[in-house]
Amino acid sequence: MKLHELSLKEQLNGLKEGSFSSTELTQHYLDRISSFDKSLNSFITVTEELALEQAKESDKRYKSNKALPLDGIPIAHKDIFCTEDILTTCGSKMLSNFKAPYSSTVVNNLSSDGVVVLGKTNMDEFAMGSSNETSFFGPVKNPWNKEYVPGGSSGGSAACVSAQLASAATATDTGGSIRQPAALCGLTGIKPTYGRVSRYGMIAFASSLDQGGVLARSAEDSAILLESMSGHDPKDSTSLNEDVPNFLGNIDSPIKGMKIGLPKEFFEKDLPNHVESSTKEAIETYKNLGAEIHEISLPNVDLSLPVYYIIAPAECSANLSRYDGVRYGYRCEDPKDIEDLYMRTREEGFGSEVKRRILIGTYALSAGYYDAYYLKAQKCRRLVANDFTEAFKSVDLILSPTTPDTSFKAGEKSDDPIEMYLQDIFTIPANLAGLPGISFPCGNHEGLPLGVQLVGNSLKEAQLFQAAHQFQEATDWHKNLPEVK
Amino acid sequence: MTVFNESWEAVIGLEIHVQLATNSKLFSGASTNFGALPNTQACNIDLAMPGVLPVLNEEVLKMAVKLGKALNANINSPTSFARKNYFYPDLPKGYQISQMDKPIVEDGFLDIELEDGSSKRIGITRAHLEEDAGKSLHEDFEGKSGIDLNRSGTPLIEIVSEPEINSPEEAVAYLKSIHSIIRYLEISDGNMAEGSMRCDANVSVRKVGSEELGTRTETKNVNSFRFVEKAIQYEIERQISEIESGNTITQETRLYDSQVNTTRPMRTKEYANDYRYFPEPDLLPVVLEDSFIEKTLEQMPEMPNEKKLRFVNEYDLSEYDASLLAADRDLANYFEEVTGESKSAKLSANWIMGELSAELNKENLHILNSKISAKQLGQLINRIEDSTISGKIAKDVFEKMWSSGNEVDDIIEKEGMQQVTDLSEIESMVSKVIDENPDQLKQYLSGKDRLFGFFVGQVMKESQGKANPAQVNEILKEKLKE
């Protein structure tokens, strides 16, 4: 078996047993990146030198029996996580020259557990997009079919893991940016409970919704990586002061008796046959594993999309104000005064989707509109969250398709923002409610993967991993990987 | 009380920004020391680097709770933060973290004392926490501006009064009272020249008896007590004369120019109208536990009004003296130290507010930098009390102490300034004076009683001021009878 075909867990075992070194593994991935990534465009920066240096250190630790929990595993970071002295662009021209002066907590947590950093992955500009077509660094291709998009905004992370150019990758999810690309690229992706993973050093899009997570090839691999990333961080005031359990702890326990809810509002939607049938098949698998299936209702869940498209732009409109050309990042040529500096820097430095959202957000917060938009959206957000609280009184997990369909062709939706926003219709509610959600492969239609999503109650990541792992023990969808040429 | 045209009344509300004296900034660990080289005290958070997050400095909560108590106000729990959005080069995030809906301090009042001795209650609407901006430096840069972000993120508390102030004098009394409170609480040095206390005045005028408020202006950039008084005075007069000449007042922000003592409108570009406030998603609402508040309040010092009352009761001082001494915590401490040494509160108060204050004012020194320590002044008063020196000689001794820093007893001894209390010595001086002034004696004996003072004066002169005046009086009376 080739090294890139091994799962993260198998690679860890191989390193421990000395079957191969981290240097070999890292070099193997670097070679694959240089062979295949030109056409995929999943990396913005490849940190070859750093990776080989880290791999060497890791090999030393294995030799001296001082190996760290994730020692020597080559991963990639979404280019939204600040990495000290390394280009951190957030997919934007605005930060196309920005080397971060510090590392994010996520990067530090993983580094202190011994991972090797292969590079920084492509993404929709400032994480705004569902197809990875808004990146200043060009679109990312779906490894299953290069005419199709990998999803977004964590499209680079998804494509590189799916193409086996990295063992796993970090990612972020504000409205579905981990789970949707996971579904479209045939991966397992988890967005944990809001506050589980520190946001310090993770460039903000919408602060109350953003959450870091993982894209990997299985629930088990995701659990291993997420455990290392998670934990209370005093540098993030919204970080939860909760112990991180062993996410692998009960991954092997049967899920007999586990109650899975199917929100009727989601299943009443007019879904394509292949989505409906693969989701039904997943439900059958769970029945066979002994889970109890219940129909439930999330009566306000249809408010999610409009609520999200007020709150996220409102927060982003303030979060992106700092990109003014004064201290770092892109600055326009020869500004004639401060007004001109602001206007042209932002006009030239931001792409159109980012500008669209800044404008929507600024409008929603303006005097005279605040009550009608932002305040009302916050109230509706509470209603959506309350629906989940009610639902979790009777079920353990909530199942739905992850996306309305399989991947779509590049350019197909890029001129229709509403059509693009509908990509996240099943994923956004979990962000509004701050709940953990996991997407994993459950089918394939015409050569493109399909995903199913489970949403759990607050802090119940372990239960999500258990349910997803049990599914993956019973099925082979997650083992299906594209052949990259 | 300033009298304008009698038919007009001024309505004034003050917004006072107080820089809180924390070691580190409101939301970052960077130092807050004043006067460091530009941009040496700005960390990644103060620079608004991508990805950074604010973490609240808990020290400010304690300070705000104490201030709330001193302002007789409610402490809100939970209290929450909001973003105030505007673009300016010295505001790195493009928004200021402030408070909107749930300010930490709300609904209080302050009783201020007016010059005529009466007191007036001024309502406090709110006091909220916010971060300071950096500074734009326009000099020294040809065609450009420099930005110093050292001040960026320094904690401020903004105290907003109700529009219940009606004259420049009341405004200053209120401002001084706030100044005294923040100094007492040691939450700020209140230095207006350095900008650690800044005052914006909202001023409008209306016809006496009118219920409706006039259009107000906000005057900024007033950086001393005196300028606050003058700026408000100017603004009231300007508004009255505008209205009386048939014009209307524009609601606007104005800058005070102390050089020419006028206010002028700020360019409209210098401030934005719509700050698009919304709850700060990076900070959770802060819950102040009862135990936290109680523990904080245990550290409350005695406040100016309480101290004043105690001075009246405990030391039998007049209300006026007590209130002057209590206004400054350091002065009050000095007074109590002097009194502790001398056991005479009245003399201590007189000396502090007389001789000592005069010297301090002359050299523009704060009481903490007095050249005579409280103990030394107490000892001087003791020498008056035990008749070693007279009150008059004491003034000379005081001056010598001030200029030399030497101890009281050393000066008295070295300069031979002890009071003469030896009866026989005084007797001989009295005899000498009587002998040398036969004409005056004759007149005195013929009924010109007023000349008694002349003889006292001559004896004191003979003794170079050192004779005990009471003894001189007594002996002189007897001798003149003979």
Answer yes or no: do B50 and A98 touch at CB < 8 A. yes
Indicate whether B328 and B457 sit together in one domain.
Answer: no
Considering only CA atoms, which of A223, A244, A218 is closest in space to residue A233?
A: A244
For A373, half-sphere exposure in the C-beta direction (CA atoms, 13 angstrom radius) is 22
Answer yes or no: do B276 and A367 touch at CB < 8 A. yes
Whole-number pLDDT of residue B284: 95
Q: Is A130 a catalytic residue?
A: no
Local mean pLDDT, 10-residue blocks, chain B (482 residues): 71 97 95 88 96 97 98 97 95 97 97 88 98 89 88 97 96 95 95 92 94 92 92 96 93 90 75 84 97 95 93 93 91 95 92 94 92 94 86 88 90 79 82 87 85 87 81 83 70
Instruction: Tell whether B93 is within 8 A of chain A (Cβ).
Output: yes
Q: Is residue B161 part of a domain?
A: yes
Q: Looking at A7, A9, A21, A78, which residue is catalytic?
A: A78
Considering CB atoms only, which of A200, A327, A362 is closest to B47? A327
Distances (CA, A) of A214 to A42, A79, A436, A451, B109: 16, 13, 12, 15, 54
CB B368 within 8 A of CB B391: no
Residues of B in contact with A203 (CB under 8 A): 50-51
Distance from CA of B86 to the nearest CA of A (A): 9
Summary mean pLDDT of chain A = 97
Q: Could you say which of B376, B391, B415 is where a domain stops?
A: B415
Q: What is the domain count for chain A?
A: 1
Burial string for B445-460 (b: 16+ CB within 10 Å, else e) reads eeeeeebeeebbebbb
Answer yes or no: do B51 and A100 touch at CB < 8 A. yes
Q: Tell me which DSSP letter residue B355 carries.
A: I
Considering only CA atoms, which of A413, A414, A394 is closest in space to residue A405?
A: A413
Q: Looking at A153, A167, A222, A304, which residue is catalytic?
A: A153
CATH code of A274's domain: 3.90.1300.10
Considering CB atoms only, which of A203, A321, A328 is closest to B95? A321
Instruction: Tell whether A184 is within 8 A of chain B (Cβ).
Output: no
- Rounded to whole angstroms, how far apart are CA atoms B359 and B407? 18
- Rounded to whole angstroms, how far apart are CA atoms A137 and A144? 21
Alpha helices in A290-400 (DSSP H): 304-319, 338-349, 352-365, 376-391
**Backbone dihedral region for residue B210 (phi beyond 0: left; psi -120 to 50: alpha; all else: beta):** beta
Q: What is the pLDDT of residues A347-406, one digit of tens each?
A: 999 999 999 999 999 999 998 899 999 999 999 999 999 999 999 999 999 999 999 999
Answer yes or no: do B53 and A237 touch at CB < 8 A. yes
Give the angle A335-A337-A338 at the CA atoms, nearest 5°: 100
Tabulate helix, strand, coil % of chain A (nearest 5): 45, 15, 40
Considering CB atoms only, which of B94, B283, B284 is closest to A318? B94
Domain containing A429 equals: 1-485
Considering CB atoms only, which of A202, A208, A362 is closest to B51? A202
Q: Is residue B1 part of a domain?
A: no
Please count the other Cβ atoms lying within 10 Å of the Cβ belonging to residue B16.
Answer: 23
Query: For strand B8-19 and strand B155-161, is the pairing parallel, antiparallel, or unpaired?
Result: antiparallel
Phi, psi of B366 (to 5 degrees): -85, 155
Q: Could you say which of B248, B269, B294 is where a domain stops?
A: B294
Which residues, other chains included, contact A347 with Cβ-Cβ below 8 Å and sequence gap of 6+? A332
Q: Which two tokens stand for residue B182?
A: 């923040």
Please count the other Cβ atoms lying within 10 Å of the Cβ belonging to residue A36.
Answer: 18
Residues of A in contact with B143 (CB under 8 A): none
Instruction: Tell whether B81 is within 8 A of chain A (Cβ).
Output: no
Indicate whether B451 and B401 sit together in one domain.
Answer: no
Among B27, B28, B49, B93, the residue to mutate for chain A (most A Cβ within 10 A): B49
Max distance between CA atoms of chain B, in angstroms, equals 101
- Rounded to whole angstroms, how far apart are CA atoms A211 and A154? 12
Q: Which two tokens stand for residue B402?
A: 């001030």
Which residues, other chains included, contact A253 with Cβ-Cβ below 8 Å and sequence gap of 6+? A466
Indicate whether B289 and B308 sit together in one domain.
Answer: no
- Rounded to whole angstroms, how far apart are CA atoms A435 and A429? 8
Indicate whether B85 and B156 sit together in one domain.
Answer: yes
Answer yes or no: do A207 and B281 touch at CB < 8 A. yes
Among B52, B270, B283, the residue to mutate for chain A (most A Cβ within 10 A): B52
Indicate whether B99 and B223 sit together in one domain.
Answer: yes
Residues of A in contact with B267 (CB under 8 A): none
Q: Is residue B262 part of a domain?
A: yes
Considering only CA atoms, which of B277, B30, B42 is closest in space to residue A328?
A: B42
Handedness of CA B304, B309, B315, B316 (dihedral sign): positive
Whole-number pLDDT of residue B4: 59
Secondary structure (3-state) at A418: helix
- Rounded to whole angstroms, how far apart are CA atoms B134 and B90? 5
Indicate whether B391 and B428 sit together in one domain.
Answer: no
Predicted-complex ipTM score: 0.96
Q: Which two tokens stand for residue B154?
A: 């320094």
- Rounded to whole angstroms, how far apart are CA atoms A136 and A119? 17
Q: What is the pLDDT of residues A110-169, one digit of tens each?
A: 999 999 999 999 999 999 999 999 999 999 999 999 999 999 999 999 999 999 999 999
Q: Is residue B2 part of a domain?
A: no
Distance of CA B223 to the CA centre of its chain: 14
Q: What is the 3-state secondary structure (H, E, C) of B226-294?
A: HHHHHHHHHHHHHHHHHHHCCCCCCCCEEEEECCCCEEEECCHHHCCCCCCCEECCCCCCECCCHHHHH
Max distance between CA atoms of chain A, in angstroms, equals 70
Considering CB atoms only, which of A104, A338, A374 is closest to B89? A338
Whole-number pLDDT of residue B36: 87
Q: Which two tokens stand for residue B106?
A: 């709300």
Q: Is A113 exposed, middle or buried (0-12, 13-18, 19+ CB in 10 A)?
A: middle
Indicate whether B81 and B182 sit together in one domain.
Answer: yes
Considering only CA atoms, which of A421, A399, A451 is closest in space to residue A264?
A: A399
Indicate whether B130 and B231 sit together in one domain.
Answer: yes
Residues of A in contact with B92 (CB under 8 A): 322, 326-327
Indicate whether B184 and B106 sit together in one domain.
Answer: yes
The identity of residue A374, as a single letter, is: Y
For B311, half-sphere exposure in the C-beta direction (CA atoms, 13 angstrom radius) is 29
Q: Could you say which of B241, B268, B294 is where a domain stops?
A: B294
Considering only CA atoms, which of A180, A154, A191, A187 is closest in space to residue A458?
A: A191
Considering only CA atoms, which of B134, B129, B161, B160 is closest in space to residue B145?
A: B134
Instruction: Tell whether A253 is within 8 A of chain B (Cβ).
Output: no
- Rounded to whole angstroms, how far apart are CA atoms A171 and A281? 28
Residues of A in contact with B51 (CB under 8 A): 81-82, 100, 104, 199-204
Considering only CA atoms, which of B159, B252, B248 is closest in space to residue B203?
A: B252
Considering only CA atoms, which of B22, B20, B292 is closest in space to residue B159?
A: B20
Q: What is the domain count for chain B?
A: 3
Alpha helices in A230-319 (DSSP H): 264-267, 273-288, 304-319
Distance from CA of B80 to the nearest CA of A (A): 13
Q: Looking at A22, A104, A177, A317, which residue is catalytic?
A: A177
Domain containing B458 equals: 423-481
- Residue A439: cis peptide before it, omega within 30 degrees of 0: no
State the average pLDDT over residues A316-328: 97
Whole-number pLDDT of residue B461: 86
Q: Is residue B260 part of a domain?
A: yes
Indicate whether B290 and B409 sit together in one domain.
Answer: no
Q: Is A131 a catalytic residue?
A: no
For B106, half-sphere exposure in the C-beta direction (CA atoms, 13 angstrom radius) is 12
Residues of B in contact with A104 (CB under 8 A): 51
CB A450 within 8 A of CB A281: no
Token pair 């408070």: residue: B99
Residues of B in contact with A207 (CB under 8 A): 281-282
Q: Is A78 a catalytic residue?
A: yes
Query: For strand B253-257 and strand B217-222, is the pairing parallel, antiparallel, or unpaired?
Result: parallel
Residues of A in contact with B273 (CB under 8 A): 367
% of residues, chain B, pLDDT over 70: 97
Between the two ends of chain B, the Cα-to-Cα distance in Å is 59
Considering CB atoms only, which of A82, A321, A324 is closest to B85? A321
**What residues pair up with B436 in beta bridges, in sequence order?**
none
Whole-number pLDDT of residue B479: 81
Answer yes or no: do A237 and B56 touch at CB < 8 A. yes
Considering only CA atoms, which of B97, B102, B80 is closest in space to residue B27?
A: B97
Please count the other Cβ atoms lying within 10 Å of the Cβ belonging to residue B423.
Answer: 12
- Rounded to whole angstroms, how far apart are CA atoms B45 and B55? 10
Whole-number pLDDT of residue B270: 47
